[in-house]
């Protein structure tokens, strides 16, 4: 290869690199910028983890969130152990059974661990029956103790009725996390639809839609949400209330997209 050909190739390299950067799509540029933001990447994986737990909440939950046990009211979080009272190390985590005590003076009830007995934590243990994604029945759970052992595993304790808080938080996360997604989706559809109508027809249609947007954006969001939420009847079923909350969220969020 002659020197002239080598010089010509070197001169073409910056041009090729410039062309490659120029043809990068907006989605690629957004993805590159997102990857440089470490906290955003970590938050994305955490959020995906929480959504995964919410989707398979019944499988992750060791107890039925609506079933209560009056003998375990307001119990503290139950710890998992690897080292027993004698200093022995166990590869499989275990829990101590809870023993109820009552103060003779204040009559206050408390729970202490009985370190004389240990109950290993089992994985993929059988428990209460549920439907996986509403498709088929199963009674397998990610972790728990043997149902016939009489032991308990309350990672976050129990409420005043004796219901497992860890299981209730998992099931509640499904509602809390899905409301945001459905609300944003409805806001996106409504914003694109009304914004497209406003830009396509123009004139008086555009003026009316833009004035409505300005009026809604001039109202503080939190008081408006509170007022709309207060208008939802308390005797409505859960599904209707859930749908109404998502609609209320989308009624405020669509203005920025339109």
**How is the chain split into domains, by residue range?**
3-55, 79-153, 173-257
Structure tokens given for 156? 């976050």
Residues 20 and 184: their CA atoms lie apart, in Å, by 34
Note the pTM of the prediction, 2 decimals. Answer: 0.72
Between the alpha carbon of residue 249 and those of residues 61, 116, 180, 184, 195, the distances in Å are: 29, 53, 8, 8, 18
Q: What is the pLDDT of residue 94?
A: 92
Q: What is the pLDDT of residue 84?
A: 87
Give residue 139's region: left, alpha or beta (phi > 0; psi -120 to 50).
alpha
Residues 112 and 166: their CA atoms lie apart, in Å, by 19
Q: What is the pLDDT of residue 11?
A: 58
Give the mean pLDDT per block of 10 residues along the chain (258 residues).
Answer: 58 52 74 89 93 93 90 89 88 90 81 88 90 87 86 91 93 87 86 88 88 84 78 80 79 73
Q: What is the pLDDT of residue 156?
A: 92
Q: What is the pLDDT of residue 168?
A: 93
Q: What is the pLDDT of residue 154?
A: 92
């Amino acid at each position: 290869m002659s020197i002239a050909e080598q010089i010509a190739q070197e001169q073409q390299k910056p041009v090729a690199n410039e062309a490659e950067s120029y043809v990068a799509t907006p989605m690629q540029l957004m993805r590159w910028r997102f990857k440089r933001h470490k906290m955003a990447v970590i938050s994305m994986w955490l959020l995906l983890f929480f959504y995964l737990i919410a989707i398979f909440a019944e499988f992750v939950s060791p107890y039925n969130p609506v079933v209560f046990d009056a003998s375990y009211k307001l119990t503290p979080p139950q710890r998992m152990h690897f080292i027993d009272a004698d200093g022995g190390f166990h590869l499989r985590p275990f829990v101590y059974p809870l023993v109820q005590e009552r103060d003779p003076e204040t009559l206050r009830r408390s729970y202490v661990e009985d370190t004389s007995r240990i109950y290993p934590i089992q994985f993929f243990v059988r428990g209460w029956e549920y439907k996986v994604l509403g498709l088929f029945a199963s009674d397998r759970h990610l972790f728990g103790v043997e149902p016939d052992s009489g032991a308990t595993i309350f990672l976050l304790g129990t409420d005043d009725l004796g219901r497992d808080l860890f299981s209730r938080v998992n099931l509640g996360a499904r509602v809390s996390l899905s409301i945001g997604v459905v609300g944003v989706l409805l806001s996106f559809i409504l914003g694109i639809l009304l914004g497209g109508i406003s830009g396509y027809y123009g004139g008086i249609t555009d003026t009316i839609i833009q004035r409505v947007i300005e009026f809604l954006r001039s109202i503080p969001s939190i008081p408006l949400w509170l007022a709309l939420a207060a208008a939802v009847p308390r005797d409505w079923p859960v599904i209707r209330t859930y749908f109404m909350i998502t609609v209320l969220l989308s009624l405020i969020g669509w203005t920025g997209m339109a």
